[in-house]
Amino acid sequence: MEAMVQQQNYDVVAITETSHNWNTALDGYKLFRKDRKGRRGGGVALYIKKVFDTVSIETNEDEVECLLVRIKGKANKAGILLGVYYHPPIQEEEVDNLFYKQLENASGLPALVLVGDFNLPDICWELNTAEKTQSRKFLECMENNFLSQLVGEPTRGRTMLDLLFANRDGLVGMDHDLKELGF
């Protein structure tokens, strides 16, 4: 992984399903992580280049496997909020609601990017519809927070489980980096 990250010169790398004993330093990157509490598996991490001024956003919801980090903008720029989220295949509605509340609180920034393993295979992203109530609530939350899903092809088998959301055009792409966005 380190060789690929260094070769591609990514500004940010997001990881889901980390383990408690996982700890890989990447030269030139600051590591943020949130381990799953009380169970095996799960957990999330973000690597962000050290050149960026970053602040981890603390939350009190240990059940929610979501990590939020703000990259401060230069001068009068507002900055960008980056999030990585792991939604296990089976999750209680109460935990989903805690995540939705976190996202609602975070979505006030003009620049928000959320990536992760969402494990909601019944969602049809072309039509923005879902069979299950849990998935429909998820779609409603994304819409209420003005987040657009940017992954255009299946990520596992024939489904899109690994997703990327942004609340503004131009935040994510292979043809630019954060410096071009004013960071």
Q: Where are the domains of the chain?
A: 51-181
* pTM of structure: 0.87
Region 51-181: CATH code: 3.60.10.10
Query: Is 66:99 a contact under the CB 8 Å cutoff?
Result: yes
> Which residue has 């059940």 as its token pair?
63
12 within 8 A of 82, measured Cβ to Cβ: yes
What's the mean pLDDT when you consider all of the chain?
Answer: 86
Confidence of residue 73 (pLDDT cuts 50, 70, 90): confident
Residue-wise DSSP of 10-48: -SEEEEES--TT-----TTEEEEEEPPSSSSS--EEEEE
Is the pLDDT assigned to residue 125 strictly greater than 90?
yes
pLDDT tops 80 at residue 123: yes
